[in-house]
Amino acid sequence: EVQLVESGGGLVQAGGSLRLSCVVSGFTGNDYAIGWFRQAPGKEREGISCISSRFGSTYYADSVKGRFTISSDNARNTSYLQMNRLVPEDTAVYYCAAKQAYGRVWCIPYEYDYWGQGAQVTVSS
């Protein structure tokens, strides 16, 4: 059984930083991808950043490129999303998700099978 547990959400002022963590269990080997998604009120769930655990290839949405960094610590079965220079528009519920993957990383919500519980990130102006 695959499970994902998130932590690290909270309230920060604009310009601040947060780091989200996602501990993944249930996969065998590294043939999976981890994605970070967010959903703001009234908006669709969107892919923010995704990574292949085996190859380390990554994807970033234009809105966060240069500010957010995704990483995967395979020894600890943990993915991190480091968020810097946060702005109020980043306010959303952030989800980590996982899927079986053998190569190219896709960062589309419907492609992912397993989801964390979500973490609220609120950025005040």
Task: Tell me the per-residue pLDDT of 45-102, one tens digit each, with 9 for 90 and over.
Answer: 999 999 988 888 999 999 999 999 999 898 899 999 999 999 999 999 999 999 998 8
Closest by CA position to 93, among listed 70, 73, 123? 123
Instruction: Report the amino acid identity of residue 81.
Output: L
The label of the residue with tokens 């590294």 reads: 30
Q: What tokens were used for 18?
A: 């947060």
Query: Which is more confidently placed, 111 or 106?
Result: 111
Q: What tokens were used for 87?
A: 């702005």
Beta-ladder partners of 49? 36, 60
Rounded Cα distance, 97 and 89, in Å: 22
- Does residue 28 surpass a pLDDT of 90? no
pLDDT at position 90, please?
Answer: 98
- Does residue 104 surpass a pLDDT of 90? no
Q: Which residues contact 53 (CB under 8 A, 6 or more apart)?
A: 30, 31, 32, 33, 34, 72, 74, 101
Contact 36, 94 (CB under 8 A): yes
